[in-house]
Amino acid sequence: MKFSTKEDIEAPIEAVFEMLCDFESFERSAMRRGAEVQRLDDMRAPGVGMSWAAVFDLRGKRREIEIEMVTFDKPNEMVIESTSPGLIGQMSFELMALSRSRTRVQVELEVKPLNLSARLLVQSMKLAKASLTRKYKQRISEYAKGMEERHSRTA
C-alpha cells in the first residue's frame, strides 16, 4: 500500500533538507507521544546507516520497530526503511529546487505485509484508503507549513 503527496515550501532546498535532518526533534516528538526511542548507531553526522529502535502502543498492542536510513543524498533525497514483525515500510523524501527560495518535497510512504495478520491489516487499510490518504496529505501539509514558519523566523 502506497501513499504519496507533494508540498511546495517557501525555503531554499538546503534549509528544507536540514530541517528534515533534525532527527533529535523527531525522537523527542515520538517520546512525548509515549514511544520509547533508542538510537542504535553512533554516527555524528546524518547519513546512510543511521538507525533507531522504537517501542510504542498502537491500538492496544505493544509494537516494536527498527528504522534505518538507506539513502542519503544531500540535499536531494532521503529514504528511511522500517521493519517490524509483519510489516516493512519505506518512507522517501525527494526534494527539488523550484527557485532559490522555493522547494518542492515529494513524500512517499509504502507499507508491505510480511505475514497473514499484517496482510489483513493492510487489506483493512485499503478499505479506508480515501480517509487515510486525506489524513496523510493533511499531516504532510501541516509539517510543511511548520517548516516554512521555522525558516521565516530564522531568515
Q: Please state, for a pLDDT cut of 70, what percent of the chain lies above it.
A: 99
Number of domains comprising the chain:
1
Among 51, 90, 52, 48, residue whose Cα is nearest residue 71? 48
**DSSP 3-state assignment of 49?**
coil
The enclosing domain of 18 has a CATH number of 3.30.530.20
What is the spatial distance between Cα 57 and Cα 42, in angstroms, rounded to a whole number? Answer: 26
Burial 1-38 (b: 16+ CB within 10 A, else e): eebebebebbbbbebbbbbbbebeeebeeeeeeebebe
Give the domain extent around 73: 2-154
Q: For the chain, 155 residues long, give each residue's pLDDT as a single digit of tens.
A: 999 999 999 999 999 999 999 999 899 999 999 999 999 999 988 999 999 999 998 878 899 999 999 999 999 999 999 999 999 999 999 999 999 999 999 999 999 999 998 999 899 999 999 999 999 999 999 999 999 999 988 86
Three cell numbers written together for 118: 499484517
Number of residues in the chain: 155
Three cell numbers written together for 137: 496529505
Instruction: Read off the pLDDT of residues 109-126 as tens digits, 9 standing for 90 and up.
Output: 999 999 998 999 899 999
**DSSP 3-state assignment of 116?**
helix
- pTM for the complete prediction? 0.89
Provide the CA 121 distance to its chain's centre, in angstroms.
20
